[in-house]
Chains A and B, each alone.
Chain A
Amino acid sequence: MAFIQLIDVVKEYRSGDLAIRAADGIDFQIEQGELAIVVGPSGAGKSTVLNILGGMDTADSGQVWVGDKDVATFDRHQLTAYRRNDVGFVFQFYNLIPNLTALENVELAAQICSDHRDAVETLQMVGLGERLDNFPSQLSGGEQQRVAIARALAKNPLMLLCDEPTGALDYNTGRVVLDLLQRASREQNITVVIVTHNLALKTMANRVIQLGNGKVQSVETNLHPASIETIDW
Chain B
Amino acid sequence: MAASRANKTVSHPFGISAFRLVLNTLPRFISILLITMIGVAFFSGLRVTGNYMRVNADSYLNSQNTMDIRVVSTYGIDDDDLAAIRSTSGVADVYPGYNYNLLVNLGDSAVSSQELSIDPRGSDAINIPWLVSGRMPKWQGECLVEKSFLRHSQKSLGDSVVFLSGDESDLNDILVRDSFTIVGVVECPLFLAEDRGSSEIGNGSNSYFFLIPESNFKLSVYTEIYIRSESVAAQDSRFTDEYNLAVTEQIYQLENTAELRQPLRYQAVVDEATSELDDAQKEVDDGYAELEDARLELEDARRELDDGWLEIADARRELDDGWVELADARRELDDGWAELYASRPLLDDSWVTLNDSRVSMDEGWAELALSRQALDDGWAAAELGWQEIEDGRVQLEQSGQLIQLAWDALDLLLQYGLPQWLYDLAAAPLRDLEQQYLDGLAEWQVGLDLYNQSIADLEEGEALYAEGKAELEGYEADYQSGLASLNQAEIDYQNGIARLNQAEIDYSAGLAKLEQGELDYREGLAELVEAEQDYAEGLAEYQTKRDDALIELADAQIEIDEGWADLRALKQPQWYVLGIRDNAGFRTFESEAAQLDALALILPGFFFLIAALVSMTAMTRLVDAERTTIATFKALGYKNTAISLRYLLYALVATAIGSVAGIALGFSILPPMIFDAFRTLFNIPHTMHPFSYEYTLISAAVAIVTTVLPAMFVVRSSVRETPSQAMRPLAPKAGRRIFLERVKLLWQRLSFLQKITARNLFRYKKRLLMTVFGVAGCTGLIFTALGLNDSLGTLTSKQFGQIYKSDVTIDFRLADDETLADFTAKLDNSPDVKDYTPIYQRSMRISSPELTKDISLIVVFDPDSLPEFIRLEARRTGWDPPPSYTLDDSGVILTEQIARQFGVDIGGSINLRTLEGDSATFTVSGIVENYTMHYCYMTPAVFEKAYDQTPEPNRFFIISHSGQGELPQSLLEDKTVVSVMYTTVLAGEVDNQLDVLTFVVVILIASAGILIFVVLFSLTTINIEERRRELASIKVLGFTDRELASYIYRENIILTIAGAIVGIGLGFLLQRYIITTLEIDMFMFSRDLLWTSYLISLALTFCFAVAVNLIMYRPLTRIDMVEALKAVE
> Could you tell me which A residues sit within 8 Å of B by CB distance?
47, 51, 54, 56-57, 76-77, 80-85, 87, 89, 91-93, 95-101, 104, 107-109, 111-113, 135-137, 151, 155, 163-164, 167
CB distance from B503 to the nearest CB of A (A): 172
Q: Which residues of A contact B1034 (CB under 8 A)?
A: 97, 108
| Beta-carbon contact of B752 and A95 below 8 Å | no
A76 to B1119 Cα, complex, angstroms: 12
Pick the contact of A101: B733, B735, B1036 (CB < 8 A).
Answer: B735
**B346 within 8 Å of A (CB atoms):** no
| Beta-carbon contact of A99 and B760 below 8 Å | yes
Beyond A80-B1038, A137-B735, 7 additional contacts (C-beta under 8 Å) are A56-B1036, A56-B1125, A89-B1037, A96-B1033, A100-B735, A100-B756, A108-B1034
| Beta-carbon contact of A137 and B734 below 8 Å | yes
Looking across the interface, which residue of chain A has its beta carbon closest to that of B1030?
Answer: A97
Looking across the interface, which residue of chain B has its beta carbon closest to that of A81?
Answer: B1038
A76 to B1128 Cα, complex, angstroms: 26
Pick the contact of B1122: A57, A76, A164 (CB < 8 A).
Answer: A57
A51-B1122, A95-B1029, A164-B1127 are known contacts. Are A89 and B756 too (CB-CB below 8 A)? no
A112-B1039, A137-B731, A137-B735 are known contacts. Are A92 and B756 too (CB-CB below 8 A)? no
Looking across the interface, which residue of chain A has its beta carbon closest to that of B760?
Answer: A99
CB proximity to A under 8 Å, residues B77-131: none
Q: Which residues of A contact B391 (CB under 8 A)?
A: none
Q: Which residues of B contact A112 (CB under 8 A)?
A: 1037-1039, 1043
CB distance from B341 to the nearest CB of A (A): 183
A108 to B143 Cα, complex, angstroms: 87
A98-B734, A137-B731 are known contacts. Are A77 and B1038 too (CB-CB below 8 A)? no
**B763 within 8 Å of A (CB atoms):** yes
CB proximity to A under 8 Å, residues B710-764: 729, 731-736, 752, 755-756, 759-760, 763
A126 to B850 Cα, complex, angstroms: 84
CB distance from B465 to the nearest CB of A (A): 216
Looking across the interface, which residue of chain B has its beta carbon closest to that of A152?
Answer: B1037
A167 to B733 Cα, complex, angstroms: 22
A109 to B1038 Cα, complex, angstroms: 8
| Beta-carbon contact of A104 and B756 below 8 Å | yes
CB proximity to A under 8 Å, residues B1029-1050: 1029-1030, 1032-1041, 1043
A81 to B1121 Cα, complex, angstroms: 15
CB distance from A95 to the nearest CB of B (A): 4
| Beta-carbon contact of A83 and B752 below 8 Å | no
Looking across the interface, which residue of chain B has its beta carbon closest to that of A109?
Answer: B1037
A100 to B731 Cα, complex, angstroms: 15
Q: Which residues of A contact B1037 (CB under 8 A)?
A: 83-84, 89, 108-109, 112, 151, 155
27 contacts between A and B (CB under 8 A): A54-B1036, A56-B1122, A56-B1125, A76-B1041, A80-B1041, A82-B1038, A83-B1035, A83-B1036, A83-B1038, A84-B1040, A89-B1037, A91-B1125, A91-B1127, A92-B1127, A93-B729, A95-B1033, A95-B1125, A99-B735, A99-B1030, A100-B756, A100-B759, A108-B752, A109-B1037, A135-B735, A137-B731, A155-B1038, A167-B1127
A11 to B760 Cα, complex, angstroms: 37
Pick the contact of B735: A82, A98, A107 (CB < 8 A).
Answer: A98
Looking across the interface, which residue of chain A has its beta carbon closest to that of B1037?
Answer: A109
Interface residues in B, total, Cβ within 8 A? 31
A56-B1121, A56-B1122 are known contacts. Are A98 and B732 too (CB-CB below 8 A)? yes
CB distance from B1119 to the nearest CB of A (A): 11
CB distance from A193 to the nearest CB of B (A): 15
A109 to B1043 Cα, complex, angstroms: 12
CB distance from A169 to the nearest CB of B (A): 13
Looking across the interface, which residue of chain B has its beta carbon closest to that of A85?
Answer: B1038
Mask, B757-801, CB within 8 Å of A = 1, is 001100100000000000000000000000000000000000000
Looking across the interface, which residue of chain B has its beta carbon closest to that of A83?
Answer: B1038
Q: Which residues of A contact B1043 (CB under 8 A)?
A: 112
A96 to B759 Cα, complex, angstroms: 15
Q: Which residues of B contact A54 (CB under 8 A)?
A: 1036
CB distance from B509 to the nearest CB of A (A): 162
CB distance from A112 to the nearest CB of B (A): 6
A51 to B1035 Cα, complex, angstroms: 13
A163 to B1039 Cα, complex, angstroms: 20
Looking across the interface, which residue of chain B has its beta carbon closest to that of A163?
Answer: B1127
Q: Which residues of B contact A84 (CB under 8 A)?
A: 1037-1040
| Beta-carbon contact of A104 and B752 below 8 Å | yes
| Beta-carbon contact of B734 and A135 below 8 Å | yes
| Beta-carbon contact of B735 and A136 below 8 Å | yes
Q: Which residues of B contact A108 (CB under 8 A)?
A: 752, 756, 1034, 1037
CB distance from B1012 to the nearest CB of A (A): 27
Q: Which residues of A contact B759 (CB under 8 A)?
A: 99-100
| Most B C-beta atoms less than 10 A away, residue of A56, A76, A95, A96 | A95
Q: Which residues of B contact A85 (CB under 8 A)?
A: 1038
Q: Which residues of B contact A83 (CB under 8 A)?
A: 1035-1038
A108 to B1041 Cα, complex, angstroms: 16
3 A-B pairs with the lowest CB-CB distances in the bound complex, closest first: A84-B1038, A137-B734, A135-B735
Looking across the interface, which residue of chain A has its beta carbon closest to that of B1121?
Answer: A56
CB distance from A93 to the nearest CB of B (A): 6
CB distance from A53 to the nearest CB of B (A): 12
CB distance from B1027 to the nearest CB of A (A): 10
CB proximity to A under 8 Å, residues B999-1043: 1029-1030, 1032-1041, 1043
Looking across the interface, which residue of chain A has its beta carbon closest to that of B1029?
Answer: A95
| Beta-carbon contact of A87 and B1038 below 8 Å | yes
A101 to B752 Cα, complex, angstroms: 12
| Beta-carbon contact of B734 and A97 below 8 Å | no
CB distance from A220 to the nearest CB of B (A): 26
Looking across the interface, which residue of chain B has its beta carbon closest to that of A48?
Answer: B1122
Q: Which residues of B contact A137 (CB under 8 A)?
A: 731, 734-735
A95 to B736 Cα, complex, angstroms: 17
Pick the contact of B1040: A77, A98, A100, A111 (CB < 8 A).
Answer: A77
Looking across the interface, which residue of chain B has its beta carbon closest to that of A92?
Answer: B1127
Q: Which residues of B contact A101 (CB under 8 A)?
A: 735
Pick the contact of B756: A77, A87, A99, A155 (CB < 8 A).
Answer: A99
Q: Which residues of A contact B1039 (CB under 8 A)?
A: 80, 84, 112
A201 to B1041 Cα, complex, angstroms: 37
CB distance from A105 to the nearest CB of B (A): 9
A87 to B1038 Cα, complex, angstroms: 9
Q: Which residues of B contact A93 (CB under 8 A)?
A: 729, 1127-1128
CB distance from B740 to the nearest CB of A (A): 13
Q: Which residues of A contact B735 (CB under 8 A)?
A: 97-101, 135-137
CB proximity to A under 8 Å, residues B442-490: none
CB distance from A134 to the nearest CB of B (A): 9
Q: Which residues of A contact B1038 (CB under 8 A)?
A: 80-85, 87, 109, 112-113, 155
Q: Which residues of B contact A104 (CB under 8 A)?
A: 752, 755-756
A137 to B305 Cα, complex, angstroms: 144
| Most B C-beta atoms less than 10 A away, residue of A47, A82, A100 | A100
Q: Which residues of B contact A98 (CB under 8 A)?
A: 731-735, 1030
| Beta-carbon contact of A97 and B1033 below 8 Å | yes
A202 to B1040 Cα, complex, angstroms: 36
A81 to B1042 Cα, complex, angstroms: 13
Pick the contact of B1036: A81, A95, A113, A164 (CB < 8 A).
Answer: A95
CB distance from A197 to the nearest CB of B (A): 12
A97 to B484 Cα, complex, angstroms: 200
| Beta-carbon contact of A107 and B1033 below 8 Å | no
CB distance from A159 to the nearest CB of B (A): 13
A43 to B752 Cα, complex, angstroms: 40
CB distance from B1036 to the nearest CB of A (A): 5
| Most B C-beta atoms less than 10 A away, residue of A80, A101, A108 | A80
| Beta-carbon contact of A80 and B1040 below 8 Å | yes
A81 to B1122 Cα, complex, angstroms: 17
A65 to B733 Cα, complex, angstroms: 39
Looking across the interface, which residue of chain B has its beta carbon closest to that of A157?
Answer: B1038
CB distance from A103 to the nearest CB of B (A): 10
